[in-house]
């Protein structure tokens, strides 16, 4: 009998918790790194209060979940081995009852903590799509509606579990859980598809400028969000299917596999929002900066506004010289909006024409309108994006 107790405690609790503890250690390191980097960069980059608090809340909730599992392992082992003792004192019996009461409360706390983590994760995913797509109102309504609907479904589920009514438990609990997981999966799918669509449109618009470092950087940043979104969606779908099907598993091996997978997926899903921010931190993510403004921050590139000069007319201290310092800010620069990505500096039209070997008189490549002060650069294909460079004027931003 004692051997069976040890086997049950080891397989059902010890092994899954051991795997979860390893991932929890990675989660601790990831969260510490994120907070450390945000604190160091606070002078140059405004501290994203929302993302910091979301990270701390999700980490605290999962810490509660993991700590409850550790206590459950000890309590289950204690009660199981206490049952093997033929002589149980009144003090030991009372202690076992107190432990059982604490176990019930911790299990309910776990049931409350995990939906909150999932709702925050869904809201952050939809918020990323909302920011990247330049804050459309319909996506804002969808994000808020999804959060409210999920809160209502999981609140009803927890209320039914708390009441512990035989007439309500069972089918109602299972149906509400399936509805909550389905809504969360749909939210993640919508977010991933929207960001993938934005990545494709941004690449299509900027493919003529792929030689520019920061264009490649912005596309790489979107690809990182796409890849992590697809990975998270796959993990979440596996978690949802296993959670809904684990009640139909009959063999001990299947139950152990389901338990192990669920306990490993939970920390991965909890650390996903923080992981994305850390991966993007080296790519100057616009997502963190945009949280401080009412609208999407202007992502612009400077375009020179001085009239074009021939090499013989250019002086040694000409601001259009190629040897100007990289950090020098020329007051004669105008800014041109781009659809997505960090700022990068376009070269002067004559230098670009020289390097690209374009003919100034070729209207398919570049045309200079004499006497008006305008020089218009066009792409090689009529359907691609073009930028208008205004010489000697005060024209505002021109969208690319």
Q: Residues 264, 356: one domain?
A: no
Q: Residue 368 falls within a domain, yes or no?
A: yes
Measured from the Cβ of residue 195, the count of other Cβ atoms closer than 10 Å reads 22
Q: Residue 319 falls within a domain, yes or no?
A: no
User: What pLDDT does 387 receive?
Assistant: 36
β-pairing, 387-390 vs 366-369, is unpaired
Task: Using the structure block, give the residue that is written with the tokens 């781009």.
Answer: 338
User: What pLDDT does 6 receive?
Assistant: 65
Q: Residues 306, 359: one domain?
A: yes
SS3 annotation, 259-272: HHHHHHHHHHHHHH
Task: Name the CA dihedral angle for 131, 134, 138, 144, rounded to a multiple of 10 degrees.
Answer: 20
Domain count, the chain: 2
d(CA 329, CA 286): 22
d(CA 18, CA 7): 15
Per-residue pLDDT of the chain (400 residues; tens, 9 = 90+): 455 666 667 777 788 888 899 999 999 999 999 888 888 877 776 656 788 888 999 999 999 999 999 998 888 888 877 776 767 778 888 888 888 889 889 989 999 999 999 999 999 999 889 988 889 999 999 999 999 999 999 999 999 888 876 666 778 888 899 999 999 999 999 999 999 898 888 777 776 655 555 556 667 777 778 888 888 899 899 888 888 887 666 566 677 778 888 888 889 989 998 888 887 776 554 444 444 444 433 333 333 333 333 444 444 443 333 344 444 445 444 443 444 444 334 443 334 444 444 444 444 433 333 333 333 333 333 333 333 333 333 333 333 3
d(CA 258, CA 243): 8
User: What pLDDT does 343 receive?
Assistant: 39
User: What pLDDT does 117 receive?
Assistant: 93
Residue 212's alpha-carbon distances to 78, 339, 341, 345, in angstroms, are 64, 15, 12, 9
Q: Residues 386, 282: one domain?
A: no
Measured from the Cβ of residue 88, the count of other Cβ atoms closer than 10 Å reads 12
Q: Residue 321 falls within a domain, yes or no?
A: no
Q: Residue 367 falls within a domain, yes or no?
A: yes
Q: Residue 375 falls within a domain, yes or no?
A: yes
User: Are 254 and 378 spatial neighbours (Cβ–Cβ below 8 Å)?
Assistant: no
Q: Residues 48, 170: one domain?
A: yes
Q: Residues 272, 383: one domain?
A: no
Q: Residues 247, 352: one domain?
A: no
Q: Residues 103, 141: one domain?
A: yes
Q: Is the dihedral of CA 106, 109, 114, 115 positive or negative?
A: positive
Q: Residue 58 falls within a domain, yes or no?
A: yes
User: Are 193 and 128 spatial neighbours (Cβ–Cβ below 8 Å)?
Assistant: no
Q: Residues 304, 220: one domain?
A: no
Q: Residue 322 falls within a domain, yes or no?
A: no
Q: What is the CA radius of gyration of the chain?
A: 29
Q: Residues 51, 174: one domain?
A: yes
Q: Residues 253, 343: one domain?
A: no
Q: Residues 111, 246: one domain?
A: yes
What's this model's pTM, rounded to 2 decimal places? 0.66
User: What pLDDT does 26 receive?
Assistant: 94
At 224, which CATH number? 1.20.1070
The phi and psi torsions of 375 (rounded to 5 degrees) equal: -130, 120
User: What pLDDT does 372 receive?
Assistant: 34
Number of continuous H segments (helices) and E segments (strands) in the chain: 10, 5
Task: Name the CA dihedral angle for 121, 122, 127, 129, rounded to a multiple of 10 degrees.
Answer: 120
Write the DSSP symbol of residue 357.
T
User: What pLDDT does 243 receive?
Assistant: 84
d(CA 289, CA 55): 16
Q: Residue 320 falls within a domain, yes or no?
A: no
**Residues with Cβ < 8 Å from 201, sequence gap 6 or more?**
339
d(CA 397, CA 400): 9
d(CA 246, CA 262): 10
Q: Residues 215, 150: one domain?
A: yes
Domain that holds residue 281: 2-290
């Amino acid at each position: 009998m004692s051997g069976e107790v040890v086997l049950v405690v080891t397989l059902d609790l010890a092994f899954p918790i051991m795997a979860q503890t390893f991932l929890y250690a990675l989660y601790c390191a990831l969260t510490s790194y994120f907070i450390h980097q945000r604190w160091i960069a606070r002078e140059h980059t405004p501290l994203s209060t929302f993302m910091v608090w979301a990270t701390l809340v999700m980490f605290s909730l999962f810490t509660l979940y993991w700590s409850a599992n550790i206590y459950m392992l000890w309590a289950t082992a204690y009660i199981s081995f206490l049952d093997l003792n033929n002589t149980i004192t009144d003090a030991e019996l009372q202690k076992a009852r107190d432990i059982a009461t604490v176990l019930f409360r911790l299990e309910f706390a776990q049931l409350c903590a995990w939906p909150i983590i999932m709702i925050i994760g869904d809201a952050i995913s939809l918020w990323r799509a909302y920011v990247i797509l330049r804050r459309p109102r319909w996506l804002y309504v969808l994000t808020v509606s999804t959060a409210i609907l999920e809160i209502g479904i999981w609140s009803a589920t927890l209320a039914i579990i708390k009441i512990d009514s035989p007439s309500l438990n069972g089918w109602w609990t299972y149906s509400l859980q399936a509805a909550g997981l389905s809504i969360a999966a749909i939210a993640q799918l919508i977010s991933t598809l929207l960001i993938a669509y934005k990545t494709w449109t941004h690449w299509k618009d900027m493919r003529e400028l792929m030689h520019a470092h920061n264009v490649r950087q912005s596309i790489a940043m979107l690809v990182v969000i796409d890849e992590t979104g697809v990975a998270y969606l796959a993990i979440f779908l596996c978690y949802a299917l296993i959670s809904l099907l684990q009640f139909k598993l009959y063999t001990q091996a299947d139950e152990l596999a389901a338990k192990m997978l669920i306990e490993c997926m939970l920390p991965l899903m909890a650390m996903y929002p923080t992981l994305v921010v850390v991966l993007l931190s080296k790519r100057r993510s616009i997502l963190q900066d945009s949280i401080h403004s009412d609208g999407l921050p202007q992502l612009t590139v400077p375009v020179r506004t001085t009239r074009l000069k021939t090499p013989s007319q250019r002086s040694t201290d000409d601001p259009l010289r190629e040897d100007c310092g990289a950090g020098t800010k020329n007051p004669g620069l105008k800014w041109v909006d781009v659809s997505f990505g960090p700022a990068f500096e376009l070269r002067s039209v004559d230098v670009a024409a020289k390097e690209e070997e374009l003919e100034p008189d070729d209207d398919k490549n570049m045309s200079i309108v004499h006497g008006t002060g305008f020089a218009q650069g066009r792409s090689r294909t009529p359907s691609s994006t073009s930028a208008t460079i205004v010489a000697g004027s005060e024209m505002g931003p021109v969208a690319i």
